[in-house]
Amino acid sequence: MLHNNHKIALLLLIFLLLPLLSGCWDSKEIDKRANILAIGIDEAKTKEQKHEDEIAHFKNKLPISNEKMIKLTAQIAVPGRIPLGPEQGGGGPTNPVLVIPVVGHTIDDALVNLQQEVSNPLFLGHLRIIVLNEKVARKGTQQINDFLRRNPQIRRTANLVVSKEHASSYMKVNPKLERIPSLYLADMIDNLSGLGKFPPSFIGLFWTHLSSKGQDAYLPYLSIKGKDNIQLNGLALFKGERMAGKTSPLEIGDFMSVIGIYKGGYGAFSMVPGTDTVVMIGTKTRRSRIKVYLKKGKPHVLIRVRYECEIDEKQSQKVYIANSGMVKKIEKEFSGSVEESIKSFIKKTQSKESDIFGFGEYFRAKLPKYWKGRVRTKENWEKIFKNDLTFNVKVDTHLNRVGMKAK
C-alpha cells in the first residue's frame, strides 16, 4: 500500500514537471516572428534625425549627440511569401520582403524603435548580412560590434560588408537571380570566396582580426552597378575599428597571394617579352610563405609566393608560344609584374596603417621578445607597420598549361 502511494506521488510529480520541460515561455510560431534577413546601416540625415520618437529614451537626455545618429534599414521576411522550392510560374509579383527604415542613436536603439512599428517580435536568428555604409564604417564599428556580440541570436557566420552607396539602397535592390535580395547578397559573398575571388569573410572572422593585436581587419567593399547589380569593388581596409581606405578589385588578388589563399581566382595581363602582345594569365592556385626577421632592430618580412598558372587568352596571332624558353620568359615577366603590384599594394596599406596581412601576428608569435619589449599594443604595431617595417617579395610563377589551343 505504502509502495503504491509512493508511485502515485511520483507520477503526480512527473506530471507537475512535464509542462516545465517544454520551456513554453520561449515557444514562438515561426510565422509569428518578424525574421530580419538583412540590415543596412547609414548615417541619419538631419531631416531624418527628427523622426525619432521618445521610445528608448527621452529627447536630448542621451550623451550621444544627434550627429552620430544612424538610420537602420531592415529587410523583414513576409511569412508565407518566401518561396521554398524552385519558383513556379504564375502568381502575382508579390514582394517576399518588407523593407522598413528607422532611425536611432545606436543599433539597439534603432531596433527598439523598429519593434514599435512591427507587430510580431523581431527575430535576428536568420540575419545573413549587415551592410555598413562607408561613412559609418569610417566613423567606427565598435558600437555596432558590441550589440552584435552580446545578442545570442546573431550568427557568427553572418556577413558584414561595407557599401559605397547608401546601405538602404542595398535593402531595396531586386536581383533577378534570386527571389530574396538579402540571400542573394549573402550568397554572393560566400560564393565569391569559393571561387577564389575573395578571402573568407564573415563577421566572426572580422571580430577575430579586430581583436588581434598584430592584425587589422578587412571587409568586402561593394558598389551598385546599373540598377540591380551589385559588384565586389575591393577590400575595405580597417585601422583599428575604423575603416581607413579601400583597394581596387585586382588588389584583392594581391592580398590573397600574400596570405596564401590556395584557390586562385584572379587573372592578369602580362606582356610577352620582346613583343607588344599581351597574354591573360589566370592563377589556379597560390601558396605563400611568410618569414619575419629583425634587421638592425627593425622588423623585416620576407614573402614568398608561388603561383600555378594557365594561359587563358592571347591578344594577337602574330606571336606564338612555341617553346618552353618562351614560357619561361613569360613566367619571369609575370612574376616581376606581380611582385611590383604586391609591393605597391603593401605600401598602400602601410600608408593607411592597416596591417590586414597580419604580419604583426607573425612578430608576436615568432619574436615574442621583440614584441613584448617594443610593441605590446595594436596602436604601436600600426605605427611600426607604417614607419619601420621593411619587406621583400619573391614571386615564383609556374605556367603549367596553355589551354586546348596549340601554339
Partner 1 sequence: MEDTKEVSTLQATSILISTIIGVGVLPLPLFAVQSGDTGAPIVTLSGIVLAAIGLFILTFLGVRHPQNTIVTYNENIIGKWIGKLCSFIVIIFFFILTGLAAREFGEVVVAAVLRETPLEVTVIVMLTLACLSARNNINTFTYIHNFYVPVILAPGLIIVALSLKNGNILYLQPLLGSNLQDMFTGMLTISALFQGSFVMTMIIPYMKEPKKAMKASFWGIFVSGGLYLLIVIATVSVFGPEEIKQILWPTLELARTTAVPGNILQRLDVIFLAVWVTAVFTTIFSSYYFTINSIKEVFSLKDHKMLSYFILPIVFILAMIPQNLIQMYEIIQFIGKIGLIITIFYPGLLLLIDIWLSWRRKKSVTQQS
- Residues making contact with partner 1 (CB under 8 A): 10, 13, 17, 20-21, 23, 25-26, 149, 152, 155-157, 204, 207-208, 210-213, 358, 361-362, 364-366, 368
Any residues with CB less than 8 A from the CB of 351 and at least 6 apart, and which?
386
Q: How far apart are CB 39 and partner 1 at their closest, in Å?
A: 19
Q: How far apart are CB 378 and partner 1 at their closest, in Å?
A: 9
H or E, element range at 258: helix 249-259
45 or 149, CB closer to partner 1?
149
194 or 403, CB closer to partner 1?
194
262 or 269, CB closer to partner 1?
262
214 or 234, CB closer to partner 1?
214
Q: How far apart are CB 290 and partner 1 at their closest, in Å?
A: 10
19 or 325, CB closer to partner 1?
19
Any residues with CB less than 8 A from the CB of 354 and at least 6 apart, and which?
216, 218, 237, 238, 239, 244, 245, 382
145 or 349, CB closer to partner 1?
145
d(CA 353, CA 94): 48
DSSP string, 298-335: EEEEEEEEEEEEEEEEES-SS----SHHHHHHHHHHHH
Contact by Cβ (8 Å): 255, 322: no
d(CA 326, CA 322): 7
Q: How far apart are CB 169 and partner 1 at their closest, in Å?
A: 28
157 or 351, CB closer to partner 1?
157
Contact by Cβ (8 Å): 86, 51: no
Q: List alpha helices for 50-152, DSSP H.
A: 107-115, 134-139, 142-150
Any residues with CB less than 8 A from the CB of 199 and at least 6 apart, and which?
193, 218, 252, 255, 256, 259, 261
Query: 3-state DSSP: the chain helix, strand, coil percent, rounded to 5?
Result: 35, 30, 35
207 or 293, CB closer to partner 1?
207
10 or 195, CB closer to partner 1?
10
Q: How far apart are CB 145 and partner 1 at their closest, in Å?
A: 9
Task: Detail the DSSP E strand segments found in 168-277.
Answer: 218-225, 229-239, 242-246, 267-271
Closest by alpha carbon to 282, among 191, 347, 195? Answer: 195
Sheet with 390-401, strands from edge to edge, namely 267-271, 278-295, 298-314, 390-401
Q: How far apart are CB 368 and partner 1 at their closest, in Å?
A: 4
Type of residue numbered 305: V
Q: How far apart are CB 207 and partner 1 at their closest, in Å?
A: 6
Q: Which residue has the cell 586562385?
A: 264
Q: How far apart are CB 5 and partner 1 at their closest, in Å?
A: 14
Contact by Cβ (8 Å): 329, 228: no
Q: How far apart are CB 13 and partner 1 at their closest, in Å?
A: 8
